[in-house]
Amino acid sequence: MRRAGPFTPLTALARRQSLEAVLAGGRDDIPVFAYGSLVWDAEYLKFDCAPALLPGYRRAFCVWTAHARGTPAMPGLGLGLYPDAAAQCGGMVIRLTASAHRGVLEKLWEREMWTGVYDPGWVTIETNEGATTALTFIVNQKHPQFSGDLTPVETARHIAVAEGVFGTCREYFYRTERALRDLPGAADEFEQLGSLVRREAARMSGSVPSG
């Protein structure tokens, strides 16, 4: 059985320094590109949202979760984003207002930057209003929480079986799948993996999950 974690959290100082580095540019607006659970599980972020497309990056279930949606003995998998010139990633741009963004970003950093598996960075996204830069969280491929290259069946098995303090990993998968279903460039990549996840979940339980 594969083991992953537990993973060492960043210190409060390191987390704060990371946020200060992002804010050092002095921008009044902070657009955030959401590509995973931020689309459906962060109500404090939902000021002004719109579909967006990020060229040159791929979204994948490549981040071990050994607490929230899994355990060290059976880790789940969360989404990460990494460069791929041939890919594009559909998601949502969340525009934070100048008066609210500092407090909201502190909450966001507590969530996304709990460990060092993500590197916050600025990317160019495409929206209905044209191209713009946005903040997003890119996976650190040198971090031990990065799963590396798993086969689709291995990925599906971890998603179907793992469970942590926040619930099952397959619930995370299904909710993200539904949230991204109507966004441009987001649905196709879940189709094959979704079939495998449902097959593994059915094999485990003896019935097909509703998804």
116: β partners:
none
Reduced 3-state DSSP string for 110-137? HHHCCCCCEEEEEEEEEECCEEEEEEEE
Mean pLDDT over the full length of the chain: 88
Asked if residue 151 has pLDDT above 60, the reply is yes
Q: Mean per-residue pLDDT for 11-16?
A: 95
Q: What is the pLDDT of residue 36?
A: 92
Model confidence at 125: pLDDT above 50: yes
Strand 118-127 with 130-139, pairing: antiparallel
Q: Which amino acid belongs to residue 119?
A: D
Q: What is the pLDDT of residue 90?
A: 93
Per-residue pLDDT band at 209 (split at 50, 70, 90): very low
For the CA atoms of 25, 142, 153, 194, the dihedral, rounded to the nearest 10 degrees, stands at -10
Cβ-count burial 6-43 (b if 16+ within 10 Å, e if not)? ebeebeeeebeebbeeeeeeeeeebbbbbbbbbbeebe
CA 170 – CA 201 distance, rounded (Å): 8
> Could you tell me which residues are beta bridge partners of residue 96?
30
Average pLDDT over residues 69-93: 94
Q: Are 145 and 115 in contact (CB under 8 A)?
A: yes
**pLDDT of res. 150:** 92
Would you state the pLDDT for residue 152? 94
pLDDT of residue 205: 75
Report whether pLDDT(44) > 70. Answer: no
Question: How far apart are alpha carbons 71 and 41 in whole angstroms?
Answer: 21
Q: What is the pTM of this model?
A: 0.89
Is residue 1's pLDDT more than 50?
no
pLDDT higher than 70, residue 116: yes
Res. 166 pLDDT band, cuts 50 70 90: very high
176-194 pLDDT tens trace: 999 888 787 666 678 889 9
* Residue showing tokens 């460990």: 115
Question: Does residue 211 register a pLDDT over 60?
Answer: no
Supply φ then ψ for residue 167, to 5 degrees. 120, -170
Separation between Cα atoms, residue 95 and residue 92, nearest integer Å: 10
Whole-angstrom Cα distance, residue 55 to residue 126? 8
